[in-house]
A and B are shown apart, each in its own frame.
Chain A
Amino acid sequence: MKRVGAIFRRDLIAYFKSPVGYIILAVFAIIFGILFSSEILFGGQSDIGANLLFMQFMLIIIVPIITMRGFTEDRKSGTDVLLLTSPASIFEVVIGKFLASFTLLLIMTSSTLIHLFMTLGFGGVVDAKTLGAYIGFIFIGAAYLSIGLFASSLTENQLISFITTFGIILALFLLSLIASLMGTLTSTLISKINIFDLSDIQIDNIAKKVTEVINWPNPSTKLDNFSSGIFELTPIVYFVSIVSIFIFLTIRMIEKRRWTQK
């Protein structure tokens, strides 16, 4: 645990030894601030939960920036030799790095607490939905971070690491679009060649199922209940699984390199 702590501290501090950490925090805070204040100015009220939902799109860019250094930098500068020949296990190294990026995400998210307290102070609405939105945002962020960490273990090039993460997260976002397109496509196809003589409702149900199946891996679908203020076990298990799977894959990737690397 001590070794995890060492790696965690080193990586977290490293974000703030380069401008990266500050830029991420600033950009996030500015965009959220603009969103919040314009809503207040023009609408007289602001829904923090809804804003967080919108900020999920920002994660497409923010997460790859956070994780692109992950293992690429270590491999490039040769410090991976230090980490991998130290008594720390690969698991401890990966966990330490993940926790560092996750903490940066938490710091970033906590900048919105200012707006939350302002809303509270002026009698705005802060309820279970808002809490759900926060939890959902952090969960989805953690899932993306684990994907980004895995991408960084694939290459020694930060740009490739960035693009890979960006691509995967973007694809997950586009998945809902593709899913609904496929759904419509299915329903039109079936109604055109309706050999089983299905009713419109049945066709609709099939189309819905198709959409659902394609959209299943999309993390944002798991968040719907959270932002409605309903807390279930399933999405929690889902996100913990995603993070565990990608951490596991990252460990395997690094282990594999011991056999193949020159």
Chain B
Amino acid sequence: MIEITDLTKYYGPNLAVDNITFTVEKGEILGFLGPNGAGKSTTMNILTGYLSATSGSVKINGHDILEEPQLAKRSIGYLPENPPLYLDMTAMEFLQFVADLKGVKRADRARHLAEIMKMVKITDVANRLIKNLSKGYKQRVGIAQAMVGNPEVLVLDEPTVGLDPKQIIEIRTLIKELGKQHTVILSSHILPEVSAVCDRVVIISRGKIVAVNTTENLSKQYSKSGKFRLTVEGPTKEIVQSLRMIPGVKSASVVGERQSGSSTIDVENDTQEDIRKQVFFEMARHSWPILEMRSMDATLEDIFLKATAGVAISSEEEVEQ
């Protein structure tokens, strides 16, 4: 559906995107993850045809974005970082304008727009000027604008920025819903969002791809050793000491202590063996009641930090060489 090959972008002497290659399959929701300034927006601007790449190619539906821009752009709906809205128009006027711009047939226009406005829940503000709408509504009009014309590919650059928690959940549900019929690329630096919505994740840092995989595979890949969090009531020091005595425990570190006399401890084991039983009996032997025990898979956050840290180190080495 989308093929990005050896994409490189320089801004003058600054390298913004460094030779990245990935593909997005039809019907997939791809998360595009990276810290601020990693090159996410640049990549999205290139693949929608707003910017040109220094080298490399982007193909949408088999059409090169530079050679057949009209055909390629017809299958893309794009929500940039700042939603592109004409503030002096009402939401309805604006969407009608976008529909004409994208060549939606006049006969279908009203029905099509009504459907979209219902999906993103802006029907009740349809006749208000966009400049008087709240940030959340503006963002939704932006998403609606991308959906106009029913493009096969939706490119959404941080779609939930500026929304309140309830709206964020609604938009995430909407994106999942859209993912059934559309191919979606979603950029974000909010990790739970990506893990909640996306099938596959591309992590990018300093213009380079550092990891591409499904969310499950990534957490498996990055969580070689088991880790769990323990809340125990008893003398903290002694608990930690006895935990460290248990064979298989790699480390035990105190995360927090409470005045009630309980402490929270992260325990890591280096073997694949489950040591939670031993921990339970050991604590029971000392009659230190376990209040809580919870296994901690590598979250996307851990993966993200590990993956992006790796790049930072390797690029520093390059500098030293």
Which A residues fall within an 8 A CB radius of B? 2-3, 5-7, 9-10, 14, 17-18, 77-89, 258-259, 261-262
Contacts and interface: CB of A to CB of B under 8 A. Distances in A.
B52 A258 contact: yes
A255 B185 CA distance: 25
A17 B70 contact: no
Contact of B70 (A2, A89, A258): A89
Interface in B50-80: 50-52, 69-70, 73-74, 76, 78, 80
B234 interface: no
Contact of A7 (B84, B88, B101, B103): B101
Contact of B101 (A3, A81, A258, A259): A3
B49 A6 contact: no
Contact of B98 (A5, A82, A262): A82
Contacts of B11: 262
B67 to A, nearest CB: 13
B103 A10 contact: no
B86 A77 contact: yes
Contact of B82 (A5, A10, A78, A83): A78
Contacts, number: 73
Contact of A85 (B48, B82, B103): B48
B101 A78 contact: no
B78 A79 contact: no
A15 to B, nearest CB: 10
Q: Looking at B50, B82, B89, which has the most chain A CB atoms within 10 Å of its CB? A: B50
B52 A259 contact: yes
Contacts of B98: 82, 86
B299 to A, nearest CB: 33
Interface of B: 11, 45, 48-52, 69-70, 73-74, 76, 78, 80, 82-89, 97-98, 100-103, 145
Contacts of B69: 89
A86 B73 contact: yes
The secondary-structure label for the interface of chain B is: loop
Nearest to B83: A78
A252 to B, nearest CB: 14
| Leading 10 A-B pairs by shortest Cβ distance | A6-B100, A82-B84, A17-B88, A78-B82, A79-B84, A85-B48, A258-B52, A81-B80, A87-B74, A6-B101
Contacts of A2: 100, 103
A84 B85 contact: no
Contacts of A14: 86, 88
A5 B85 contact: no
A2 B103 CA distance: 7
Contacts of A5: 100
B73 A78 contact: no
B86 A258 contact: no
A158 B89 CA distance: 20
Given A18-B88, A77-B87, A258-B51, A86 B101 contact: yes
A150 B85 CA distance: 23
Contact of B50 (A9, A10, A84): A84
A9 B98 CA distance: 12
Given A18-B88, A77-B84, A78-B82, A84 B100 contact: no
